[in-house]
């Protein structure tokens, strides 16, 4: 277990892994973790953190339920609001509207640029995870756009990762039904199984419904998605949230190709940002695409991170008359190990 947090205005008891803000920069940071009977939080800013600072807690991770900040964001069942007298309390409804728990345990640094506080789990229904958006002094909003993916803190689950080495390969019936040929999808799926067998890696086959069960996912080191472009729209959030928790709490790797959970069972792009799940789980989004085209894949992995047997720039494979997609790292920190050249233009593959 992690060392308990001491609420004293000093961040030395937090680790980099506790930061939930995905790198806000400019001197801002948000930390959160499950800490015994409480969720513990810390915020730091380049100015004093004071009155009207609010942290919105979406405890069912459903943005459609709960209070809508500015009429469209948050879906918050609760909020933590800072009063002018230096007290910090838990409310429901609008910021500071309906008192749930007065006088949360709170402490600031001497210059008040760092604050730590606790929210008792029992006061907010002991949720499995909380989606969070926040503001500092009602002036700085985090994330900067309340329309983008919120920050998330996970509760303890009591689930323990399985120490044995095993992977899962996911059969997506929804994707198979929308693939250009169901036979081709089956062949792709069998190719993934065959590669696991050749590598001597034990594997299980999972279906889409298994992807909402965290205890099931905790048995694996990696989860392989030969193609998971299509998913039932009403299951997309729950699957994405469960996969996110599996990667964050158990360090499970996800391996996927092409578009990931972008389209529904009717093959239409999922509502909102259809690339939101790729961004959340893979730090990747689509740049462009085309069909038909001739595509040349080349290694760009000089340190042989993955492509052991290829020289830098060596052709891996050439395709004729195919559809293609190009993706890029959203944060800019992703590593490209192969490029694709189409019509003289080169993209990350």
Q: By C-alpha distance, which of 246, 196, 187 is closest to 216?
A: 246
Burial of 62 (0-12, 13-18, 19+ CB in 10 A): middle
- The DSSP output letter for 335 is P
- How many Cβ atoms are within 10 Å of 311's Cβ, its own excluded? 12
Half-sphere exposure of 8 (CA within 13 A, CB side): 8
- How many Cβ atoms are within 10 Å of 71's Cβ, its own excluded? 5
Sketch the per residue contact string, 204 through 243, with Ca ion: x for CB under 5 A, - otherwise.
Answer: ----------------------------------------
Bond from prior residue into 292 cis (ω within 30 degrees of 0): yes
Q: How far is the CB of 5 from Ca ion (least distance, A)?
A: 6
Bond from prior residue into 143 cis (ω within 30 degrees of 0): yes
Q: How far is the CB of 239 from Ca ion (least distance, A)?
A: 18
Decide: is 10 part of the binding site for Ca ion (CB under 5 A).
yes
Nearer to Ca ion, 8 or 312 (CB): 8
Nearer to Ca ion, 21 or 116 (CB): 116
Structure tokens at 303: 């340190």
Q: How far is the CB of 18 from Ca ion (least distance, A)?
A: 11
Whole-angstrom Cα distance, residue 325 to residue 349? 8
Whole-angstrom Cα distance, residue 184 to residue 323? 14
| Contact in structure between 87 and 160 (CB atoms under 8 Å) | no
Decide: is 147 part of the binding site for Ca ion (CB under 5 A).
no
Q: How far is the CB of 114 from Ca ion (least distance, A)?
A: 9
Nearer to Ca ion, 65 or 288 (CB): 65
Could you identify the residue written with the tokens 């309340």?
146
- How many Cβ atoms are within 10 Å of 45's Cβ, its own excluded? 22
| Residue of 6, 207, 331, 336 interacting with Ca ion (CB under 5 A) | 6
Q: How far is the CB of 307 from Ca ion (least distance, A)?
A: 44
Q: How far is the CB of 13 from Ca ion (least distance, A)?
A: 4
Could you identify the residue written with the tokens 């942290």?
55
Nearer to Ca ion, 75 or 258 (CB): 75
Structure tokens at 145: 């756009």
Nearer to Ca ion, 13 or 244 (CB): 13
Nearer to Ca ion, 169 or 239 (CB): 239
Whole-angstrom Cα distance, residue 22 to residue 128? 20
Nearer to Ca ion, 60 or 135 (CB): 60
Give the CA radius of gyration of the chain. 23
345-348/338-342 β-pairing: antiparallel
Nearer to Ca ion, 65 or 144 (CB): 65
* Binders of Ca ion in range 75-114 (CB under 5 A): 75
Q: How far is the CB of 15 from Ca ion (least distance, A)?
A: 12
Nearer to Ca ion, 66 or 258 (CB): 66
Nearer to Ca ion, 13 or 301 (CB): 13
Burial of 100 (0-12, 13-18, 19+ CB in 10 A): middle
Q: How far is the CB of 281 from Ca ion (least distance, A)?
A: 21
* Binders of Ca ion in range 13-72 (CB under 5 A): 13, 58, 60, 62, 65-66
Largest CA distance in the chain: 69
Q: How far is the CB of 78 from Ca ion (least distance, A)?
A: 9
With CB under 5 A as the contact rule, which of the stretches 5-13, 97-105, 231-239, 287-295 interacts with Ca ion?
5-13
* Binders of Ca ion in range 310-329 (CB under 5 A): none
Q: How far is the CB of 56 from Ca ion (least distance, A)?
A: 10
Residues in binding contact with Ca ion, number by CB under 5 A: 10
Residues that bind Ca ion (CB under 5 A): 6, 8, 10, 13, 58, 60, 62, 65-66, 75
């Amino acid at each position: 277990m992690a060392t308990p947090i001491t609420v004293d205005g000093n961040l030395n008891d937090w680790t980099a892994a506790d930061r939930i803000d995905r790198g806000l920069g400019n001197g801002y940071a948000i930390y959160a973790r499950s800490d015994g009977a409480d969720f513990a939080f810390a915020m730091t800013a380049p100015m004093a953190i004071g009155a009207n600072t609010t942290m919105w807690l979406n405890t069912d991770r459903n943005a459609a339920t709960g209070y809508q900040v500015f009429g469209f964001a948050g879906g918050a069942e609760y909020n933590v609001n800072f009063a002018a007298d230096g007290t910090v309390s838990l409310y429901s409804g609008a910021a500071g509207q309906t008192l749930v728990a007065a006088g949360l345990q709170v402490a600031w640094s001497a210059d008040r640029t760092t604050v730590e506080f606790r929210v008792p789990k029992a006061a907010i229904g002991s949720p499995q995870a909380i989606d969070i958006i926040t503001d500092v002094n009602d002036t700085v909003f985090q994330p900067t756009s309340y329309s983008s993916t919120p920050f998330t803190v996970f509760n303890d689950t009591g689930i323990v990762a399985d120490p044995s080495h095993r992977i899962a390969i996911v059969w997506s019936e929804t994707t198979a039904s929308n693939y250009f040929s169901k036979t081709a999808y089956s062949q792709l799926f069998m190719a993934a199984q065959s590669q696991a067998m050749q590598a001597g890696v034990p594997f299980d086959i999972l279906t889409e419904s298994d992807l909402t069960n965290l205890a099931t996912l905790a048995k694996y080191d990696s989860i392989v998605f030969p193609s998971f472009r299509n998913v039932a729209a009403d299951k997309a959030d729950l699957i994405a949230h469960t996969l996110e928790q599996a990667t964050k709490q158990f360090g499970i790797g996800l391996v996927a190709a092409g578009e990931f959970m972008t389209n529904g069972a009717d093959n239409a792009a999922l509502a909102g940002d259809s690339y939101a799940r790729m961004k959340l789980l893979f730090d990747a989004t689509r740049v462009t695409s085309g069909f038909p085209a001739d595509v040349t894949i080349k290694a760009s992995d000089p340190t042989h991170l993955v492509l052991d047997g290829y020289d830098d720039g060596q052709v891996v494979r050439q395709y004729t008359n195919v559809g293609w997609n190009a993706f890029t790292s959203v944060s800019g920190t992703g590593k490209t190990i192969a490029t694709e050249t189409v019509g003289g233009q080169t993209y990350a593959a």
